[in-house]
Chain A
Amino acid sequence: MSTSTPRVDSMKPATPGPTRTAPPRPPDKFPSAGRYPAYLAFGACGAFLMISALVLIGAVWAVGNGEAAWNDYRELLSHPVFLVYHVAAFIGLTWFTLRLFRLFPATQPYRIGPLKRPADAVMVAGLYGLFFTVLAVGTLFLGGALL
């Protein structure tokens, strides 16, 4: 006696064709929560780098165009908008540098040249120390204390 019940193949999908999927969604906390805001702010600091580079190029251009151009350039820098920008850029780029240095050990291989990598804390302390030393010397120099 034959049975009319069809054989069930458990490995076959219920419907033929590729499985329909729900589309991927971005990381749940992106962009406003978790560590993502810091990452985005870090990237946004690139704007400070670009604008500051343009300001420096402006300085070179002014130097090449005589005393009047240089005086105009200095006057432009003393404008309140520029002063606010420089304070913001100083804070932003200081934070950018410190975050970069904090992440730096993670990028280093087990061996650096012939030497084994130093401990992460040593690398970070060295970089922070160097940064603050350069910052202090630069501030003293620009403030006229070292001349």
Chain B
Amino acid sequence: MSQETKTFVVTRFDPDKDEVPKTQSYEIPVEGDWKILDALNYIKDEVDPTLSHRWSCRMAVCGSCGMNVNGEPKLTCKDPVSNYGDTVEVAPLSNFPVVRDLVVELEGFMEKFKAVKPWIVVAKERAVEEGTTRQSPDELADFKQFSMCINCMLCYAACPVVSNEPDFIGPAALALGHRYNQDTRDEGAPERNEIFRDEGGVFSCSFANECSEVCPKKVNPAGAIQQAKLRNVLDWAASFVVKRGGKES
């Protein structure tokens, strides 16, 4: 049985040598059940050990192996080679600086991520004697979808607002912030909403919906951001009637 071959056109960038990224083609044999990541690992192991790409779990959990495949942000461990024709273009995620080849710089994302306080904020720590905090299945369902994010950053790579507005906090971080705002155990919504309403917050989103289209875990960040917008408008309107919570200024 003859083995199928495909040509992978891979973006290469060596910060010590290259002024700008370039592409390099590899024609390799592929198996029918391979994912794009398998092909990249084959190139790295058998053809060109200088190729750099980031990966870890190989089961769409760690979120490390996000790349642009034929121009579309994909989780390469989940994306079958059989979905593509004879030539497959693999590039680093767009909207991120490139460290080397297919590896992108995540520093900026981590800063934005921390900005939305993605943890449960409570005014006073609950005493052990008070027992566990109870939450109904419906209360859990209010935010569960948004807690499925694996930080693969495909949503950032697809978002046209991220590329035009570098200060935009971005889909994954805003969705995660909204996830904590929806959590009945959390008391940090007033603080987060101040950040959401600020420059680069939820109102920078123009609802391209690309983030939700490319999300491999169906988190629906665009939906979370639109819900956060509505909540912030209502919160703003309510501030004329009742005193707004949050930090004393």
Contacts and interface: CB of A to CB of B under 8 A. Distances in A.
B223 A108 contact: yes
B71 A34 contact: yes
Interface residues of A, number: 29
B97 A27 contact: no
A24 B15 contact: no
A14 B20 contact: no
A111 B142 contact: yes
A108 B98 CA distance: 36
A28 interface: yes
B94 A27 contact: yes
B45 to A, nearest CB: 20
A15 B14 CA distance: 13
B71 A29 contact: yes
B7 interface: no
A23 B96 CA distance: 7
A28 B73 CA distance: 9
A34 B72 contact: yes
Nearest to B213: A35
Given A20-B15, A27-B160, A110-B142, A39 B97 contact: no
A132 interface: no
Contacts of B159: 27
Q: Which interface residue of A14, A23, A34, A107 has the most chain B CB atoms within 10 A? A: A107
A5 to B, nearest CB: 23
Interface string A15-55: 10001111111111111011110010001000000000000
B214 to A, nearest CB: 10
A84 B229 CA distance: 36
Nearest to B220: A106
Interface residues of B, number: 40
B138 A111 contact: yes
Contacts of B73: 27
A62 B98 CA distance: 59
A25 B11 CA distance: 13
A107 B95 CA distance: 25
A109 interface: yes
A128 to B, nearest CB: 18
Interface string A84-111: 0000000000000000000100111111
A36 B223 contact: no
B138 to A, nearest CB: 6
B206 interface: yes
Given A35-B210, A109-B227, A28 B68 contact: yes
Contact of A39 (B13, B208, B212): B208
Interface in B109-157: 138, 141-142, 145, 157
Q: Give 5 closest A-B pairs by Cβ, nearest first.
A: A28-B71, A21-B97, A107-B226, A22-B98, A26-B163
30 contacts: A15-B16, A19-B99, A19-B105, A20-B15, A21-B97, A22-B13, A22-B15, A22-B20, A22-B98, A24-B163, A25-B95, A26-B160, A27-B71, A27-B159, A27-B160, A30-B160, A30-B163, A31-B160, A33-B71, A34-B72, A35-B210, A39-B160, A106-B222, A107-B223, A107-B227, A109-B182, A109-B227, A110-B141, A110-B142, A111-B141
Given A109-B182, A110-B138, 19 more contacts: A20-B15, A20-B16, A21-B97, A21-B99, A22-B13, A22-B18, A24-B96, A25-B94, A26-B94, A26-B95, A27-B158, A27-B163, A28-B71, A31-B160, A35-B213, A39-B208, A107-B227, A109-B227, A110-B142
